[in-house]
């Protein structure tokens, strides 16, 4: 550790073996990032309690297992996102306690922590095909210590389905609105509630939905304010952002 190197320099000053000017020079060349690292580390510790996250997509089964292995000692909870059944089969052979949130494509190792706040994140979807992305968001938020309510298939094609659940929406602290196609869900819910809305555009749809572009643009152009948007199909990102908002005051 460079910490020792730093100590050694300070010791030399203390002992009078080195002038302040020489120490200044040494410190200027001393890799600041090590000190910086400590500082950044506090930042990291602020987030302590959050699960470690492994993006499984594009990794081999062997790599995924190895990373779980290396993280298992120092972490209570590890999740692997965008995981396949095949990924899970490899993991569970080595960690029989691992569980698979199939719809959400998340492998979980370790227990979901008790919720750190009573504030609620509500995850809503326009249709049933948006559920995988919504579940990815919901599980992410839960493993980060949030209470999550799911309201699926309440899209604007039948607006009464959303209105019927207005009290649930009103009681939410953050809402994640997952929708493909025209993505109107996010605008409409944002016009109904007072809490922040995270738009989660999905690639659900066909033709001129252009793999989620349609929903993405719609959510970015919402005529109702109080909404911000994550990447297409990025359930993890939506769940993480919602959690960061929801846990404010809890952590810092």
Site for a second copy in 148-177 (CB under 8 A): 155-160, 163-167, 170, 173
- Dihedrals phi, psi of 99, to nearest 5 degrees: -125, 155
- Pick the closest to residue 54 from 24, 78, 33 (CA basis): 78
For residues 117 and 250, the answer to whether their CB atoms sit within 8 Å is yes
Structure tokens at 60: 């081999």
User: Which CB sits closer to a second copy, 76 or 163?
Assistant: 163
Distances (CA, A) of 124 to 35, 112, 165, 231: 44, 21, 10, 17
Binding mask 57-96 for a second copy (x = CB under 8 A): xxx-------------------------------------
36 touches a second copy by CB under 8 A: yes
User: Which CB sits closer to a second copy, 89 or 164?
Assistant: 164
User: Which CB sits closer to a second copy, 92 or 193?
Assistant: 193
The Cα 185–Cα 219 span in angstroms is 9
118 touches a second copy by CB under 8 A: no
Q: Total number of residues binding a second copy (CB under 8 A)?
A: 110
**One residue of 107, 124, 154, 181 binding a second copy per CB under 8 A:** 181
**One residue of 1, 16, 74, 96 binding a second copy per CB under 8 A:** 16
228 touches a second copy by CB under 8 A: yes
Buried b (16+ CB within 10 A) or exposed e, 219-252: beebeeeebebbebbbbbbbbbbbbebbbeeeee
For residues 74 and 43, the answer to whether their CB atoms sit within 8 Å is no
Distances (CA, A) of 15 to 6, 121, 123, 249: 14, 58, 62, 46
5 touches a second copy by CB under 8 A: no
- What is residue 16's three-state secondary structure? coil
The Cα 125–Cα 183 span in angstroms is 10
- Residue whose tokens read 């738009």: 199
Stretch touching a second copy by CB under 8 A, among 71-79, 87-95, 96-104, 217-225:
217-225
100 touches a second copy by CB under 8 A: no
178 touches a second copy by CB under 8 A: no
**Would you put residue 44 in left (φ > 0), alpha (ψ -120 to 50) or beta?**
alpha
Q: How far is the CB of 96 from a second copy (least distance, A)?
A: 27
Q: How far is the CB of 155 from a second copy (least distance, A)?
A: 5
Stretch touching a second copy by CB under 8 A, among 35-43, 68-76, 90-98, 99-107:
35-43
221 touches a second copy by CB under 8 A: yes
**One residue of 5, 34, 70, 76 binding a second copy per CB under 8 A:** 34
User: Which CB sits closer to a second copy, 115 or 187?
Assistant: 187
232 touches a second copy by CB under 8 A: yes
């Amino acid at each position: 550790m460079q910490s020792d190197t730093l100590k050694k320099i300070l010791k030399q000053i203390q002992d009078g073996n080195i002038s302040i000017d020489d120490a200044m020079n040494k410190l200027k060349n001393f890799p600041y990032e090590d000190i910086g690292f400590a500082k950044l580390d506090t930042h990291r510790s602020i987030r302590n309690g959050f699960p470690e996250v492994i993006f499984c997509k594009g990794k081999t089964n062997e790599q995924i297992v190895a990373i779980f292995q290396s993280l298992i000692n120092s972490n209570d909870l590890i999740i692997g996102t965008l995981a396949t059944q095949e990924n899970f089969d490899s993991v569970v052979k080595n960690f029989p306690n691992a569980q698979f949130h199939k719809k959400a494509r998340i492998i979980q190792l370790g227990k979901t922590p008790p919720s750190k706040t009573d504030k609620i994140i509500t995850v809503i979807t326009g249709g049933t095909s948006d559920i995988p992305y919504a579940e990815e968001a919901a599980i992410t938020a839960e493993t980060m210590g949030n209470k999550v309510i799911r309201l699926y298939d309440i899209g604007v094609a039948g607006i009464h389905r959303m209105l019927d659940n207005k009290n649930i929406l009103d009681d939410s602290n953050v809402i994640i609105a997952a929708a493909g196609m025209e993505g109107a869900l996010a605008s409409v819910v944002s016009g109904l509630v007072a809490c922040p809305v995270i738009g989660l555009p999905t690639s659900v749809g066909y033709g001129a939905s252009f793999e989620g572009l349609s929903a993405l643009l719609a959510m970015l152009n919402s005529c109702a304010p109080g909404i911000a948007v994550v990447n297409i199909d990025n359930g993890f990102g939506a769940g993480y952002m919602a959690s960061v908002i929801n846990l404010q005051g809890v952590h810092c």
